[in-house]
Amino acid sequence: MKKIFSLLLVSVLMLSSLLSGCSSSEPSSKSSDKISIVTSIFPYYDFARNIVGDKADVKLLLSPGNEPHHYEPSPSDIVAIEECDIFIYNGGESDEWVENVLDSLENKNITVLKMTDYVSLLNEKNPDHTDGDEADEHIWTSVRNAEQLVKKISDVVIEKDNKNKSEYENNTNQYLLSLDELDKEFTDVVNNKKRDTVVFGDRFPFLYFMTDYGLNYECAFPGCSSETEPSLEVVTRLIDYVRDNNIPVVFHLEMSNGKIAQLIGDDTGAEILQFSSCHNITKDEFNNGEDYISVMKQNCSALKEALS
């Protein structure tokens, strides 16, 4: 599969080069007075667009509504990366495809940000791997991590486009204030908690989030698990835990069928709520203007119910 992808990548880049060479009289597809930013997943798209406002073009590769763990770049996606000024991706299992693309861009004047390089990674227990624990890649689920990542993106944008430095700095400071307020809202919920453990009848990509607020968790799978169906032992354990500890809420992830959570809820009477990782949002949410902060505020409300 990697060989096939590499051949496709080479073909796309050669075609792009030929087309650009044969159409020098045509205007470039890239705006001449704006830098262009391409991001692999929604959180970094949202961070970038809040920083740049209308002073730069920001493109999201992962279309709203699509499952991020199964994404593969299209030829037009590869060309967009080739032609951008800044490429932002996360790193980790979901972004393994990026390495093939980067190998082909060594001579391009593109600033590449691998965001997992800029925070301290935490290890999750993952029974799918025989080589022990692995780093959890879902770093943006921590609002405090998000603040650090926004600062890094802002620094790189300013370095690339210094003429708009003042506006970028103002936008960044305003957005950081919003993130700080969000962190305070979560802290307030946790400070008034009646319990300190939440239950996910689903994958669990929230290790950084729970670590920030000192919360414990029970889940069906780790965040990077490839499993889709839990064993009877896992379901029984979660049902017993919810019943024995009077857990009021069982969470499921966005874009999940929620079957495991529903099964636990049906057996225990617990309420079923969504807790979003913000890895991506639906088309309707995107069109309605939902963003990282608004989705995390919904998480805050759900967490308040779960800890009551």
Residue 235 main-chain phi, psi, to 5 deg: -65, -45
Give residue 92's pLDDT.
Answer: 86
Report the alpha-carbon distance of residue 229 to residue 69 in Å, rounded. 17
pLDDT beyond 60 at 26:
no
Helices (H) and strands (E) in the chain, counts: 11, 10
**86-89/35-39 β-pairing:** parallel
The residue among 67 and 85 whose pLDDT is bigger is 85
Tokens of 188: 């307030």
* 269-284: pLDDT as tens digits: 999 999 999 999 999 9
The residue among 216 and 8 whose pLDDT is bigger is 216
* Terminal CA-CA length for the chain: 48
Q: Would you place residue 30 in the very low, low, confident or very high pLDDT band (cuts 50, 70, 90)?
A: low
| Percentage, residues of the chain above pLDDT 70 | 84
Average pLDDT over residues 3-8: 46
Report the alpha-carbon distance of residue 59 to residue 80 in Å, rounded. 8
- Ramachandran quadrant class, 14 (left: phi over 0; alpha: psi -120 to 50; beta: rest): alpha
pTM over 0.85: yes
Residue 161 main-chain phi, psi, to 5 deg: -140, 70
Contact assessment for residue 293 and residue 50, using Cβ atoms and an 8 Å cutoff: no
Q: Would you place residue 71 in the very low, low, confident or very high pLDDT band (cuts 50, 70, 90)?
A: confident
pLDDT beyond 90 at 175:
yes
Q: Would you place residue 125 in the very low, low, confident or very high pLDDT band (cuts 50, 70, 90)?
A: low
Average pLDDT over residues 37-46: 97
Strand order in the sheet with 111-114: 56-60, 35-39, 86-89, 111-114
The residue among 102 and 254 whose pLDDT is bigger is 254
Residue 290 main-chain phi, psi, to 5 deg: -65, 150
pLDDT beyond 80 at 305:
yes
Give residue 152's pLDDT.
Answer: 98
